[in-house]
Amino acid sequence: MNTTIPDNWYETFFAGINCEMWEKAATQQMTDDEAAFLVSVFKLPKGSKILDLPCGTGRHSLALDRQGFNMTAIDISDEFINSLKKKVAAQELNIGVIHANILSLELEDSFDGAFCMGNSFGYFTYPDMKIFIQKVSNLLKPNAKWIINSGLMAESFLAKFIKGKTYELPGMTMCINNNYDEWNSCLLTTLTYVRNGKEEVQQFKHHVYTIGETIRMLKNGGFRTTALYNSTNKESYKLGDVQIFLVAEKLW
């Protein structure tokens, strides 16, 4: 069943129970810590234009907008984008919310910084990853920073490969079953949700890149990697750390 997951799975995955799960999984403290980290790394004045992609629920854009930054949030999910638009309107915020696939998006704008939080950096195949990196590069001003967060870089994920795990979220249980496609360096995951006694199964795939490979891809896209952290506390990343926060700088 896992082998049938298409490369463009992310175009339809983020709807229904998957969106509900992400809304429930991220705590306010997590958002506050990550937003503070982003601000401290960017070191940008209020009013600077920052790009959040893919934005998912938009929790980081909401937090940074309240701190005075000019936010643009992009995502492919109808559900995430419609929900974020409602939050922006209800709170009278100025976030630019765009529903688009970054691989085909043509945006006439330039930004002072960008970030890619969660594990979304590995959604794409290698050819599409090159397009993704170049798209972001084209949208950033020289010396702008791009902050990438992931728990699925090879040095993190493969060092402590976990076949399965169960999470209890408000109103639902989520069981994760992982398999690994060695031929394609790809994580194949089945999610089984149980809510109100009913079961729902969802699947996704994630391309697993090494840190060195990621740095080389970024370099080819016009970026210089300047820091590798293992948390929002800015401690240096080391083999096996659960998370990585990579900071890259646009060279030209």
In this predicted structure, what is the pLDDT of residue 199? 97
In this predicted structure, what is the pLDDT of residue 3? 56
In this predicted structure, what is the pLDDT of residue 141? 98
In this predicted structure, what is the pLDDT of residue 8? 95
Q: Which residues 6+ apart lie within 8 Å of 42 measured at CB?
A: 48, 50, 112, 113, 145, 147
* Predicted TM-score (pTM) of this structure: 0.95
Per-residue pLDDT of the chain (252 residues; tens, 9 = 90+): 445 899 999 999 999 999 999 999 999 999 999 999 999 999 999 999 999 999 999 999 999 999 999 999 999 999 999 999 999 999 999 999 999 999 999 998 999 999 999 999 999 999 999 999 999 999 999 999 999 999 999 999 999 898 999 999 999 999 999 999 999 999 999 999 999 999 999 999 999 999 999 999 999 999 999 999 999 999 999 999 999 999 999 998
In this predicted structure, what is the pLDDT of residue 2? 44
Bridge partners of 73, per DSSP, are 52, 97
